[in-house]
Amino acid sequence: MTSIINSKLPEFEVQAFHQGEVKTVSHNDLKGKWSVFFFYPADFSFVCPTELGDMADMYPEFQEMGVEIYSVSTDTHFVHKAWHDTSDTIAKITYPMLADPTGALSRAFGVYIEEEGMAYRGTFLVNPEGEIKIAEINDNGIGRNADELKRKVQAAQFIAAHPDEVCPSKWEPGGETLEPGLELVGKI
């Protein structure tokens, strides 16, 4: 199994439902920006709306950090619109909901379930250079937490700005970081 960490964002072009409209989103739209791809199995399901609603609640905080959120499922943009129109939780979403009915984007990120035609719960952070810096894949019964994702994104952004430092477990902005070196070996 090859790691996706530090690999380049795959080229793609998909339809999205975003703020009441259908738009085209491609890899070119992400250049120079921090982006999160938030794959989930299906619209009109059970765990998915809890996660997408959590992301919707935190979306302004991600935007303040200069991060765009893209939710992705193998449903079409029409299904995204229908879900948005019928669910109070999904109606809160203002980030783009990407449609991947062919599974091409899900396959490119390694989250596609061939037998089911849908994706695992995959979370990926792409830096402004188009490199994947965070990759997390959960089985579909395990929901994710937007607060924890926010902390990880903050750590990735800190490391990008301070390449000689690393963020320890439970690091929060303003917390102490470490400067790797022989003098730390065996002392932590």
22 DSSP β-pair partners: 17
d(CA 36, CA 50): 17
Name the nearest CA neighbour of 43 among 68, 69, 78.
78
**48 assigned to active site:** yes
Query: Among 14, 48, 56, 118, which one carries the catalytic annotation?
Result: 48
- What residues contact residue 15 under an 8 Å CB cut-off, 6+ apart? 22, 23, 24, 25, 76, 77, 98, 99
Provide the pairing of β-strand 118-119 with 121-126: unpaired
d(CA 102, CA 131): 24
Catalytic residues: 48
